Structure 1
Amino acid sequence: MQFSVVQATGELSEEIAQLTKELGYQVSATETQNWLIDLINSPFHFVFVAVSDTNVCGWIVVEKRLLLESGLKAEITGLVVGSKFRRHGIAQALVKAAELWANEQGLKQILVRSNISRKESHVFYSSIGFNQSKTSHVYVKRIINSN
């Protein structure tokens, strides 16, 4: 299967939204387009897509993060390959693009967080050189607007 990895554009938001739904997130094309435009305009983020013919096969978002306790690093904040495009090296190519972007930013480390239920992801990341460093819990609290 032939594909290329390129920078995402706002025009791809509908297809990106469909892939995001495969991750289990209910998003609209409008929400995706708004968020995508913000990410594209951010100096701290980069969004790559894998495209074959006219199909968006997958996407990845990488972020330049500054942490007080550990400094600058890159973090993959999202990665998905469409179910009908898997097992063709697309995810690996997207991660490689994220690594190259991180290197261009002068970053020396890239990390990714993966839900414990995504067992295929754990095998994938281990197979391309990522090492598990810790397990954590994620807590969410809704912030209510007081106005």
Structure 2
Amino acid sequence: MTLSINPASMQDVTAIHSLTSQLGYHASLEQSKQWLEQMLHSQNHCVFVAKRGDKTLGWLAVEQRLFLESGFKAEITGLVVSDDERRIGVGRDLVNRARAWAVEHGLTELVVRSNISREHSHLFYQRIGFHHQKTAHQYQMELPREEE
């Protein structure tokens, strides 16, 4: 059966949520619904799903970002392929679709960040044409929630 790569819809949220947990993220299904809905309504984001028949094998989120120091770029902000479907071209096909989306939006650069602990991802990205640019530290600060 042929692999298809198409924009996600809200009907894909359960599969997207399940795949996301394979990366070690523990958002609730309700949070996944809220976030996917926001992305689906954004002109700067696109989420693609890879399917074979009714089975979702992976997803990719891409975003048009504006950097004050370097202008517009497309950035892959999330990519996951099911544990049992890796190394058969699903990730490559998702990245190729994101690349086409970026070109359709007039962008000339596609970037991706990968956690230093995900060594298999680093090899994957290099194998499909990405070049290592830099290693960085990420810092995070919790902010108080606004009272409702």
If the TM-score is normalised by the length of the shorter chain, which range does it land in?
over 0.9
**Residue aligning to 1:20:** 20
Structure 1 runs of 4+ aligned residues shifted over 2 Å read none
Q: C-alpha displacement at 1:146, in angstroms?
A: 6.0
Q: Report the Cα distance in structure 2 between the residues aligned to 1:146 and 1:122, rounded to whole angstroms.
A: 38
3-state SS in 2 of match to 1:131:
coil
Other-structure match for 2:124? 124
- Corresponding residue number in structure 2 for 1:83: 83
Tell me by how many angstroms 1:142 deviates: 0.4
Q: What letter matches 1:14 in structure 2? A: T
Q: Please give the per-residue CA displacement for 1:81-101, whole angstroms capped at 9, x wherever unaligned.
A: 001111210000000000000
**Residues of 2 paired with 1:145 and 1:58: CA distance?**
32
| Counterparts of 1:37 and 1:3, CA distance in 2 | 24
Give, as a single letter, the amino acid of the residue that structure 1 aligns with 2:96. Answer: K
Aligned to 1:96: 96
Q: TM-score normalized by structure 1?
A: 0.97
SS in 2 for 1:111: strand
The sequence identity of aligned pairs, in percent, is 45
Q: Residue type matched to 1:34 in 2?
A: Q
Distance 1:142 1:107, change over 3 A: same
Change (3 A) 1:30 1:129: same
TM-score, normalised relative to structure 2: 0.96
Q: Which residue of 2 aligns with 1:140?
A: 140
Question: What secondary structure, in the 3-state scheme, does the structure 1 residue paired with 2:20 have?
Answer: helix
The one-letter amino acid of 1:129's match is G
Gap runs ≥5 in structure 2: none
Unaligned segments of structure 1, at least 5 residues: none
Equivalent residue of 1:140, what SS? coil
Tell me how far 1:74 sits from its aligned partner. 0.4
Partner residue, 1:38 = 38
| Mapping of residues 96-115 of structure 1, within 5 Å | 96-115=96-115
Give the equivalent residue in structure 2 for 1:57: 57
Match for 2:71: what amino acid? G
Q: Structure 2 CA distance, aligned partners of 1:105 and 1:53?
A: 29
- Count of aligned pairs between the two proteins: 147
